Structure 1
Amino acid sequence: MSRTPSSRPIRAGVIGVGSMGANHARVYSELPAVELSCVTDHDDAVAHRIADEYDTEAVPFDTVLERCDVVTVAVPTRAHYDVVSTCLEADVHVLVEKPIAETVEQGRKLAALARDRGCLLQVGHIERFNPAVQTVADLIDDLEVISLEAERLGPPIDRTAPGNVIFDLMVHDVDIVDSLLDDRPNSVSAMGTDGGQYATATMEYGDVVASLTASRVTQKKVRTLTVTARDCLVEVDYLQQSVLIHRDSYPEYLIDDGTRRYRHESVVERPRVDNGEPLRHELESFVEAVRTGSEPVVTAEDGIEALETVQLIDSLIGEETRTPEVRAR
């Protein structure tokens, strides 16, 4: 069965220490009551460099499983299933970077394996831990939501084969909208252009509609969410970790020298946002769930549902037709 320490430090490892995995190693090394036990990577030079930087050891994959209570899996998506299943079979708790796997069926098998082994499997939808999103999550139940609009835009990345913009970027907002509404879409429509590097999707949740845009051809980095509610407009900036709530004020009619004038000023509220690094919040939550045996904030089932939706969006766009379609669940 899984290893769940009670008093000693939790021994953490990172499997795959590219740009994302290296950040996981950094944060694990900083967390109290956590020991960064070791790291591994297919590139030994990279593994040793990260190990030296964070005062740990670069070891083979099998050794990670022998030493660690928990691991982050930050390898390419095509390897998620094999690596995560091996970790779970070794009774090691896993945080796997999104998406949970290449296919929904693989994701379901991983979720079942985690249950059978008594292991925690958390999916790395990091935006759930953005303080601005957490602030909106606290507000959402009091709002009569009409629509949500998310934009996740940026310039081309510096690599020859950029990943799919839907799976790499839009998946974050699919997960956020599902979690805020505590629901899944009834229908989805989508279209894209520029070889799949710009995509839009519209998702219907009963009386609520969500519009998502993801782009790698926009010459400005944008990460925003707008919630239109019956009595207010909520603007979220992921990068600034800020939330603004715009409310209607009552109009005023002023009489000056016999002339009636109209003035209508908006009211802007700025709720407190406890700023912090989302990755640190994510790993703190993961470690706490392991220590207490509680359910993770982002479950394997959450990861599977997000993957199902982005796979549908990708299939609607397609590589050849690029025409909008609608499919109801």
Structure 2
Amino acid sequence: MSRNDTAARTDPMRVGVVGVGAMGENHARVYSELQDQEVDLAGVVDRDAAVARRVAAEYGTTATDLETLLERCDAVSVAVPTPAHVETVTRCLEAGVDVLVEKPIAPTVEEGRQLARRASETGQVLQIGHIERFNPAVQTVADLIEDVEVIGIEAERLGPPVDRTARGNVVFDLMVHDVDIVASLLGSEPDSVTAMGTDDGQYATATLAYDDVVASLTASRVTQKKVRKLTVTAAECLLEVDYLQQSVLIHRDSYPAYLVDDGTRRYRHESVVERPRVDNGEPLRYELESFLEASRTGSEPEVTAEDGIRALETVQTIDSLVAEDEPAAEREVEAQ
């Protein structure tokens, strides 16, 4: 159903979810919670009919097929497995329906570009589900770094798998979040990339070099503690982000001091630590609200297809390096 005169829309926004596994079910939940914002969850689709019926019953909607859903909806979330992104998203766009597709945008960069072209041709909104962009702590840091000289960035995304029998790609599943965050903070693509991995690729590190900034990323499914942290080193301060706590610390004016205690001389560093206000909330809700606003107005989404392609290009480079057998020192390649 094509979007008509969205700026003057007064009736509820009709939305749906295609693929209601773990992530897709959360999309259905949040859409159902947005009824006070004139949002109507018109239906859900899943290849497992029993799962679709269960989720539909949970969130007060109906389970249906894709063709019927697209006839009902103005916008949909697509949370199907990545190999099905191209076919599913293309069908949605050609039906005149706006799409938020979970990351990565597509299995390959060329297929991602194909989807970007199709969205442009149909005039539909295509937003990529890089959810950490909408973490309130990240948005706070994005504002703060506008006034500082960034030197380096470190990101850690570590922990054991939720399902210990699953061994998905740690670069595509986890590191991609931080690849996108770094790109959005710096506003550019890396000049070069080095990477290595261990434990059958379940632990990976990458170093991304920009003009005067170095970003070091680590992702792991074999670390027995869940860690989601981002550290930005600037000439003026050090910014620490805890994704899980949605908190930001700013360290300034660090200086050494010598203390005498009971005749013993001790050395320590002291610094001023600031805690800027962070308006905490669920990143997925913020992401879907942003998508629906772009759909209502026909404006450019906050995370564009081009952003998704840029992240995919970088993680493909990292993944290819992690998979190689050569020594790490031989793996540096020019980023595409």
TM-score, structure 2 length as denominator? 0.93
| 1:156 shift after superposition | 2.7
The amino acid of 2:307's aligned partner reads D
Cross-structure match for 1:282 = 287
- Choose which of 100, 103, 108 in structure 1 pairs with 2:105: 100
- Choose which of 107, 132, 136 in structure 1 pairs with 2:137: 132
Instruction: Give the % identical residues.
Output: 72
Does the aligned pair in 2 maintain the 1:101–1:107 contact within 8 Å? yes
Cross-structure match for 1:302 = 307
Classify 1:150/1:251 alpha carbon distance in 2 versus 1 (closer, same or farther; 3 Å). Answer: closer
Q: For 1:25-174, list aligned pairs within 5 A.
A: 25-31=28-34, 32-158=37-163, 160-174=165-179
| 1:224 shift after superposition | 0.2
CA distance in 1, matches of 2:218, 2:267: 38
Give CA deviations for 1:128-180 in whole Å, capped at 9, x if unaligned: 00000000001111111110000000113315342100000000000000000
CA distance in 2, matches of 1:266, 1:153: 28
The amino acid of 1:327's aligned partner reads V
CA distance in 2, matches of 1:282, 1:229: 28
Q: For 1:9-28, list aligned pairs within 5 A.
A: 9-28=12-31
Structure 2 gaps of 5+ residues are: none
CA distance in 2, matches of 1:154, 1:253: 38
Give CA deviations for 1:5-51 in whole Å, capped at 9, x if unaligned: 42111100000000000000000011121100000100000000000
Give CA deviations for 1:177-221 in whole Å, capped at 9, x if unaligned: 000011110000000010010000000011100000000000000
CA distance in 2, matches of 1:270, 1:321: 44
SS in 2 for 1:155: coil
Cross-structure match for 1:328 = 334
Q: Are 1:185 and 2:216 an aligned pair?
A: no
SS in 2 for 1:189: strand
CA distance in 2, matches of 1:87, 1:240: 36
Cross-structure match for 1:220 = 225
| 1:327 shift after superposition | 1.0
- Please give the root-mean-square deviation of Cα atoms over the aligned residues, in Å: 2.1
Cross-structure match for 2:209 = 204
Does the aligned pair in 1 maintain the 2:124–2:298 contact within 8 Å? no
Q: Are 1:3 and 2:3 an aligned pair?
A: yes
CA distance in 2, matches of 1:73, 1:206: 36
| 1:254 shift after superposition | 9.2
**Which structure 1 residue ranges, 4+ long, deviate > 3 Å from structure 2?**
249-256, 260-264, 319-324
CA distance in 2, matches of 1:142, 1:218: 35
Which is further off, 150-159 or 224-233? 150-159
TM-score, structure 1 length as denominator? 0.95
Aligned length: 327
Classify 1:196/1:252 alpha carbon distance in 2 versus 1 (closer, same or farther; 3 Å). Answer: closer
Structure 1 gaps of 5+ residues are: none
CA distance in 2, matches of 1:106, 1:130: 28
CA distance in 2, matches of 1:174, 1:254: 43
Does the aligned pair in 2 maintain the 1:2–1:118 contact within 8 Å? no
